[in-house]
Amino acid sequence: MAMPKKMVAGSAVGLFGGIIALAVMAATWDGTLDCIVKVGLDMLVSVSFFAAAGTFMKYSPVQGSTMVVLSALAVAFTLVALIYGAMSIGFGLVLIVLGIVAILCAACPTVTSWVDANRRV
């Protein structure tokens, strides 16, 4: 069975989100230690997006249902960063939309069943 196209879409969305969050993190750094919490939160968002992207690979390290949880965590950390003021509303909204697309890709039954059938334990 061929890899579902939603896997590629989910992976691309996750990588794109991770890169955007990484750029936001770099922009947040102002050379002082005061901004370290905000930079850390942006890094957390970036890492969670890359982690979500990593689950959409051929040999996914997690179960199909866990992919949704990781994508949801990316959205949750983005919301936390927004509430804390660690990123601008514009970037935050873009990342939330990307995260929701990743959740929808991961929630697709064909994706979860394909991952469960092909992943190496």
Question: Which residues lie near another protein (CB under 8 A)?
Answer: 64-65, 68-69, 71-73, 75-77, 79-80, 83-84, 103, 106-107, 112
Closest to another protein by CB, 31 or 106: 106
Q: Residue 79 in contact with residue 96, Cβ under 8 Å? A: yes
In the complex, least distance from residue 106 CB atom to another protein, rounded to whole angstroms? 7
State how far the alpha carbon of 88 is from the alpha carbons of 13, 15, 18, 33, 93, in Å. Answer: 20, 20, 16, 20, 9
Report the C-alpha gap between 94 and 119 in whole angstroms.
30
Closest to another protein by CB, 60 or 112: 112
DSSP secondary structure string for all residues of 58-69: TT-SS-HHHHHH
Closest to another protein by CB, 11 or 112: 112
Closest to another protein by CB, 24 or 103: 103
Report the C-alpha gap between 87 and 38 in whole angstroms.
8
In the complex, least distance from residue 115 CB atom to another protein, rounded to whole angstroms? 12
In the complex, least distance from residue 75 CB atom to another protein, rounded to whole angstroms? 5
Report the C-alpha gap between 79 and 112 in whole angstroms.
26
In the complex, least distance from residue 66 CB atom to another protein, rounded to whole angstroms? 8
